[in-house]
Each structure stands twice: as C-alpha cells, then as structure tokens.
A and B are shown apart, each in its own frame.
Chain A
Amino acid sequence: MKPFIEFRNVEKKYMIGDNAFYALKDVNLSIYEGEMVVILGPSGAGKSTLLNLLGGMDSPTGGNIFINDHDISKFKDDELTVYRAWNVGVVFQFYNLVPTLTAYENVALMKDVRKNVKRGSVWEKDNAGLELLDPKETLASVGLADHMDQFPSQMSGGEQQRTSIARALAKNPRLLLCDEPTGALDTDTGKEVLKLLQRVSSKQKHTVVMVTHNSSFADIADRVIRVKNGTVNSIITNDEPKSADEVSW
C-alpha cells in the first residue's frame, strides 16, 4: 500500500543570530490513509513543528513532504492555502475559536474558506466528493445540538473543544490534525474528546494525526511515532488499539 503522507529527510532550521537551531532534523516517516497516529514526545521535541509542516502551516528548510504524491514542501503560500482549505482540519489545544462568533457560526465559517480559495486546483480533483458537511448536523454529531447559538465564552472547555472538532470535521478533510487536543481539559472531558476522534478515524475514514506529550494515548493509536530532540526516535505499530474508555491518565 502506498503511504498517504511521506516525510523524506525533512529538516526545519531556525537561525538565532549566527547559530543554527534544528527543530527537526532528518525526519523520515510514512502515514497511511485512515490511520490514527499519535506523535509522542516531551516539550520541545519538535512535535508541534512536525504537525505545522504536515498541516501546511509552515514550510521545511530541507527535505520533502509528500501528501498524496504532491510535494507540499515545494508549494508557494497560495498553494499551501488551497491545500489547507481542502485537506486539513486542525484541532488546537486552546480551541482557538473566534470569540465573536457563536458555535454555529464558527463551524459555518468553513463555507467561507472554500468559497475564497481557487477552484480547479489539484486538491479539488483529489478530494472530489469530499463536500462540506452541514454545520448543524456536524455540531449535533459532536453532541452540541443545544449549544449552536452560544458564544465560546459561554461554553465549557470540553464544549469549546468539541466545537473546534466540529469545525475541523465540517470541512470533511482527509487529514485531521490535533495539537494536544485534551491538554486543557479534565480527564473525563478529555476521554470524550478522544472517543470522538477515534470514531472519526474509524467510521469516517479520516486520517487523524494527534500530537501529545501524554504517553497513555499511545494505546489508542494505530501507530505511535516517538520524537526526541527533533528526530524520530521510533515508530511502533499497534495491532490492537484500545478504546479511549480504557486509557487513563
């Protein structure tokens, strides 16, 4: 089987004065479509940088990143925008909802995203059939049918994170990226969110990549990529991933 995502000798270097600092160095990895992958590592290991590169939010300083055979490391800003608009859903640790929009409006915002990017790009062809989902249904699917008109400030952390997931799912993306999605939540709420993500991966066949420093999450993933000091330390395949209910932290 051909990988959906492939990193080849990827490097991300920052210059601080005359000194080079490598956030990522010589990273090679593959991820297959429909997988649920957990990227594990301590703070400063390069997890978030990896996720940013994967989501087209940043570009590497070396190496290649292939998504469905397209080398996004060579993309210009405009092309990356189109890539993000069609392919990627992102869930942030602190939800990053637009505070002046209601839950419904935050999700419906995705209509604006697609409206404003170039039609006829490779992604549109690649993703034919991946039409936007109805914002109301999507919110209902994450259990927020009763919270449509609430502003983020009126919701709990878990509700906000579920809104954030609904926003990511509404795009019907092939790739769902989650940056410490339970980092700001208590254990029970965190489990709910994890269950939701697991369901998305298994039922809707979205590829889910989750970044976390919490090693307990390794059990629910199809594959676990451990990162340390900007390099991939190990890649382990989980033949029988556990359900989110079974993990504890």
Chain B
Amino acid sequence: MLLRKMWRDLLKNKVQFFSIFIMSFLGIFVFSGLDSEVSGMDHYEGVYYENTNLYDICAQGMAFKNRHLSKVKYLKDVKEAELRFKTAGKAELSKEYDLQMLFIDDNKISRMILAEGIPYTPGASGVWVDINFMKKQGLSVGDMLNMKLNGISFGQEIKGAVYHPEFVYYVKDVSAFMPDYGEYGFVVMDTGSYPLDDFYYNQMVIRSSVADNTGGLDKDEKNRLSRLMNEVKYVLDSDEVILTDKDADLSYQTFRAEIEQHASMVYIFPPIFLAIALLGIITTMTRMTAKQRVQIGTLKALGFSKRTITVHYASYAFFLSLFGGVLGAVLGYFTIAKYILGMMNTSYILPKVNTVFSFKSYAAVLISVIISSLVSIMACRKELSPAPADTLRPASPKNLKHSLIERSFLWKHIGFTIQWNLRDILRNKIRTIMGIIGVLGCSMLIFAACACLDTVEFITTWMYGELNTSRYSIIMNEGVSYGDTAEYAKKYKGQMVSTLGCEFEAGGIKKSGNITIPDRGNYLHYQDRQLKHIDLHEDGVAMSYRMSVLLGIKEGDMFSWHIIGDDKWHTDRVSDIYRNPSVQGITMSRKRYESYEYSFCPQTIYTNMDPVKELKDDDNIAGVQGLSEMMKAMDAMKEMMYAMVYIMITAAAILGIVVLYNLGVLSLVEKNREMATLKVLGFKSARIRSILQIQNVWVTLLGISCGIPFGIVVINILFGTMPESMDYVAKYSEKSFIICILGTFVLSYLVNRVLSGKVKTIDMVDALKGQE
C-alpha cells in the first residue's frame, strides 16, 4: 500500500519529481556515455596492440647487422626483436603521394593486420597497402602499385589492404596537426622487394617482457624499459644508435593522449547534474514531508515503525535515481558513446573498436542511488524523529528573524517588490541555490560550447595567419643539398626552415620533441605566453611553452638537449618562451645552430609565391602545400567540435528548462496563498508577475556570473589535456559572452513567462480557504 501511496505522490508532484528523475538520468547518461566510449577505446587499444604485438623499444640511427640482432635477442628481458628498413617514398598515381615504406623480414613485432587479400609470409613478393590509402585512391587487391624510391620507379602487385599498429594515427609531416588519411599512406614489403642495391637495416624493433601493451606505460614499465634500453645500447656498442620507447611514437602517444583527454572529461559534467538532482531531492522531500507531517504522525500512530516510514520516504528518491540512472546508463551507452566513438574512428585507424560498458557505469548508478536515498532520508529526518503525538500536531510556525538587510537603514527605501523578493530568497535559501546552480550549469555549458568553436577558429587563424604568414610551403626531398635548396629559396623569395627530432632533459624529466631552425626571413613569427608578439633573442635558445611546462622549467632555467641521430648532449639556458599549437621543442637561429658545428639542412621553404605548377614534377621537391590544403585538414576537427557543441547546447537547454520550471512551480505552490492575498488586496496579475520575474532575473544574473568562470575552467581543462605535441590556447570571444548571457536569459525568461502565466489562474477563494 505504501508503494501505491508513493506512486500517487509522485504523480501528484510530477514536475518536481520529474526534474529529479531527469537530472539523475542526465548525470548518468553523460557519465556512462563518455565512460563507455573511453573504456571502449582503452580496451580495444590494448587488444589491438596486444594482438599486433606492438614494439616496446625502437632502435635506429645506425646500420644494423644480424649479429646485432642476435646479441639483443640474447638479453634476458627481450622477448623478440626484428630488423627492418623504414623510409619515405612515393606512390605514382594520378599524381605523387607520400608513402612511408617498411621493408620487413618477418611480421611478428608490430604486426600488420590484414583487412583484405592474402597474408604476408617471409620472402613473399608484392606490397601490402594502407587500407585508407587504398580506399581513398580507389585501389584494390590485385592492382599494380607504382612507387618511387630515391628517384627510382618500381612496381609491385597489391597483395592486401592492411592496418598497422604504428599507423593508428599518422600525419603527413610534423607541422600538420590533423590527419588527412588517404592523401598519404604506408606500404609494407618484404626486404626481398627492395628495388635498389643500397639496402641496409635502419631500424630494430624490440618486444620486451617488462612492459605490456594495455593501458599505456606506467612509471614502473617506463623505468624497466629505460634500464633495458641501456642494456641494448651496451650490447650494440654504438655511439650513433638512438633508442626510444613506444611513448615517443606519435601514433601511440597521440591515441593514448586522446583516451586520457576523454577520460578527464568523464568527471566534469555528471557531478553538476547529480548536484542539481540532490538539491531537487532536498527541496522536494523537505516540502513534501512537511506537507505530509500529519500523515507521518498517523502512520506512526497506526503502528508503522520509524524504519518503515523512513524507507518509504527514501524510496521516492531511490526509485527515481535508480530508474533515471539505469535509463541514463543504457541510453548513454547506445547514443553518446557510439556517436563519439564513430567520430574517433575517422581520426584513429583500428580494425575494430567498440564501446565497452565498464563497471564504472554500474558504480555510478549505485553511487547516485545511494547518495540520493541518503539525502532523501536526511531531508525527511526532521519530520520523522519526533514522537507520533508531536508529529500529529501541526508544526509550530518558523521562528522568523529579521535578517541583517532587513535591519539596515536601506530596507525602508528599497520598495515592496525588492523587499518581498529579498525575504523570499533569504527564507528559501536551498531553492535559490538550486536555481543558481541550474542557471550556472546552463550558462557554463553554453559558454563552453561557444568557446570550443572560438578556439578552433582561433587556432586556424593563429597558426596560418599569425605564426606562419606564408601561403605555400615547399617540402624538399631527403638528400637535396643545401646549395640546391638555397637556390629554390632565392627563386621564390622564401624562408628556409629545418625541423629535426630532438630529445630534452631537465630535472630528470625526459621528453621528445623538435628543434626548429629558421633561416633569415619574415614568415615565421613568435608569441609569448599571453600571445603578444615577441622577437626571439638572436643568440638564444627559445623553448615552446608546452615543452617548458612538461619539463617543469621557465625562462632562465637550464636544460639539456640532443638531436635524434646525434648522441652529443648540449646544455643551454631557456632564453625565451613562445607558443606554438603543433610543434613542441626548441627554436634557435641558424647562426646559433651552426655554432654547435652542425650544418644547416633545411627541409622546408615558406613562400608567398605560387610554386605549385612549376615544381609539380621537380625531383628535388617532395611536395608543395597551399594554405587552403592546410586549412582543410582542420575541417575534420571542426566537425567533431560541432558535434560536441550540439550535445552541450542540448544539455544546457534541458538543464535550464528543467531546473527553472521545477523551481518556478515549487515557488508558485508555496506562494499560492501569498499571491492570492496580494490579489485580494488589489494587486493586478501583471504586477504580481513582475514581482516574480524580478527574482528570476536575480537568480539568472547570479547563475550566469558564476557560470562563465566555470565555463572558462571547463574549456581550459578540455584543451589542457591535449597530446603533448599540441598547445591549444582556449579562446573565448565577446560573441561567446553575449550568446551565453542572452541565451541563458532568453531561456530563463521563456520558462518564467510560461510559469507566471499561472498567476492569472490563482483562485482567490480557494487559495484563502482555511487550511484543513
């Protein structure tokens, strides 16, 4: 029978209880949606790397012989090792496309996975091609693929379309910051298919027994791999060899960082919804139990135990949060998780990745249910503790005291409307706080959504309008002499730039990144932390902001660096800190670079003259990229942002409407008698409505002014957890502030408009009848 009572009470107070339900639902919906996606990526990342046996350590920088391989294989912690040759070549189709070429002896470590065709066996002829490249270029198994390596053309029959664990994420070159799959790719061939006679092994990949392939590398694994790298270095006995663990691999690192970034978002939004659900429970249950005081007393008098009555009142919140949570978990899994994962599938290339419903989602439902029930019990406790005889009597009226404001001399001068609203707020603090938090959440989401768009827009203009003002970049082929490159630069009035892989160390922290050496020119510009233009010290070593944060150093601090391929470490002082969205490391002038007795070998020329037609078939040129092409790569990212923005705006609207409507109804019910009295006294409905609107405006203003700072925090978290190679500056324009403020106000106004319409319908006679 008590269940029936509960059900009918729920129906009677449906607006309030629905808001609790919807907030419990939304909290778990977002949590389970994001968590199922993150858990899915995390799980299938591990499965994929485990199945493909991704390498732990990669050795390069020297010519490897089989005797090196035997020595390394002999090490205790080495499970397997393979030699291979990795180089850059071209595919000759309608035009030339960049290809990463892998020549292998075996397919045991970093195994390619066949999507279509026949599997690779050692010694087999033919080529196994990047599945994205094949799709985009319309290639199929059995076709002949013409390729070019060091100027020599050769062809191989396509034997299969493949996935490769080292190509989950790959960009054309380090300066590109979004992938554009299919416009470049990778191919795998047997070493026997190498077309030239200068073959040597330039890489050794090692699989160890001290690290696994699931969940990223933890500190212990990193330390053990570091020890193993020392052992490998010792047995290889070479000054040139460079050893890196898989964390330095762009594909591995970026995918991992993406998973971790998503994981950090899992906990941002749900607590807001849960907090509002809990406030809803407090206001609704306190009010309901106060209203049902005599019923509670009667139940006690009839012999119901306190426990039974407590359980009865806790069950309202219990069932609402349980049903809301379960529905949220299921729908979150099937909508948000699938949707975001679908988008991830365009950035990260894995044969299979799916959502995974993790224990965390079960735990979230459980925690939400427990907290909601406990809060409900706390809210009811006041009416449940006294003896039945006391509860059967009506509650003694609240001992109202004059608040500080009411005692101040200002009080008399502020007018009835403000007095009335101030009193109402002070006497219904929880209701007001709940309103403010609801508006806060709503404006925070709108603001964060707008700021996401601002940031993406900004990054594009920042990168291609402020930091790099050239319209074309000419990428030189490997091995082109400095003299030839300089000739091109002269012809196109360009600025030559060299970018090399580099490793940094400060205070025991090691990070890999790039060294950028710009020659004289006007195309590359630098900005400090606050994005103000700076000129780097002519003779200094400047460090990118993100790298300085990763290393924990600032201007004037010392750090060490060495170029990948050169074992010699240099120690320098940071002369400037600059920001760059896509390349992290250090920048120094050509003069400074040459003072270390390195020779300047630029790979890129930035220019404003259009070289596309002239250089199309130039053997010295690897490619020419125009501004529009580079901007296009941003489109995928923008698309993803738009999807996020839609989700956030929808959540904001639901949050705002539900909370404000609920509070409005609550306050109307509570103030029914007061408003009826005002009507009897001769106040017009319009005047009463305006009194109610004022409070709404206050709550909305307060909510927005707290919501915007929270929005700023949220987008900083969002963009602060980007991969280590990226440095995105969270941006928000005046437009975002205006949209946020106006959007929230319009929403709040509309809800209130609907609600205050009910003032007209207040029946004076009915409302003022004696309270039976």
Contact = CB atoms under 8 A, between A and B. Distances in A.
A46 interface: no
Nearest to B9: A100
Interface in B1-43: 1-2, 4-5, 8-9, 12
Interface in A72-101: 77-78, 81-82, 84-86, 88, 90, 92, 94, 96, 98-101
5 contacts: A55-B301, A59-B387, A92-B298, A96-B298, A112-B308
A108 B5 CA distance: 12
A58 interface: yes
Nearest to A52: B389
A117 B389 contact: no
Nearest to B305: A81
Given A57-B387, A58-B390, A100-B12, A117 B305 contact: yes
B90 interface: no
Given A57-B387, A77-B306, A98-B295, A111 B301 contact: no
Interface in A105-122: 105, 108-114, 116-117
A52 B8 CA distance: 30
B303 A117 contact: yes
Contact of A113 (B297, B303, B392, B772): B303
**Interface bracket on A:** 20 to 34
B152 interface: no
B656 interface: no
Contacts of B389: 49, 52, 57-58
A112 B295 CA distance: 15
B513 interface: no
A167 interface: yes
B302 interface: yes
A171 interface: yes
B304 interface: yes
A105 B302 contact: no
Contacts of B723: none
Interface in B287-304: 294-295, 297-304
Contact of B303 (A58, A85, A98, A105): A85
Nearest to B385: A77
Nearest to A77: B306
Nearest to A88: B303
Given A100-B12, A101-B1, A101-B4, A112 B772 contact: no
B1 A116 contact: no
A98 B2 CA distance: 10
A238 B447 CA distance: 82
A116 B387 contact: no
Contacts of B306: 77, 81
A49 B389 CA distance: 8
B388 interface: yes
Nearest to B388: A57
Nearest 4 Cβ contacts at the A-B interface: A85-B303, A58-B389, A100-B8, A52-B389
Contacts of B12: 100
Interface string A114-146: 101100000000000000000000000000000
B298 A57 contact: no
B295 A86 contact: no
A81 B297 CA distance: 12
Contacts of B304: 81, 85, 112-113, 116
Nearest to B393: A48
Contacts of B5: 98, 100-101
Nearest to A90: B301
Contact of B294 (A57, A96, A112): A96
Contact of B308 (A59, A86, A96, A116): A116
Interface string B347-361: 000000000000000
Given A57-B389, A81-B306, A96-B298, 15 more contacts: A52-B389, A82-B303, A84-B303, A85-B302, A86-B303, A90-B302, A92-B298, A96-B392, A98-B299, A100-B4, A100-B8, A101-B4, A105-B4, A112-B308, A116-B305
Nearest to A51: B389
Contact of A98 (B298, B388, B772): B298
Nearest to A49: B389
Contacts of B2: 109, 112
Interface in B460-499: none
A105 B389 CA distance: 24
Contacts of A101: 1, 4-5, 8
A85 B4 CA distance: 21
B302 A84 contact: yes
Nearest to A85: B303
Interface string B94-134: 00000000000000000000000000000000000000000
Interface string B372-392: 000000000000000111101
Nearest to B307: A116
B250 to A, nearest CB: 64
A157 B590 CA distance: 100
A58 B1 contact: no
B772 A84 contact: no
Contacts of B298: 92, 96, 98
Interface in B275-320: 294-295, 297-308
Contact of A78 (B1, B295, B305, B388): B305
Contacts of A108: 1
Nearest to A177: B301
A29 B297 CA distance: 27
Nearest to B2: A112
B387 A109 contact: no
B387 A58 contact: yes
B263 to A, nearest CB: 45
B49 to A, nearest CB: 56
Contact of B1 (A77, A86, A112): A112
Nearest to A81: B305
Contacts of A105: 1, 4
Contacts of A77: 306
A98 to B, nearest CB: 6
A109 B302 CA distance: 9
Nearest to A106: B1
Interface in B57-115: none
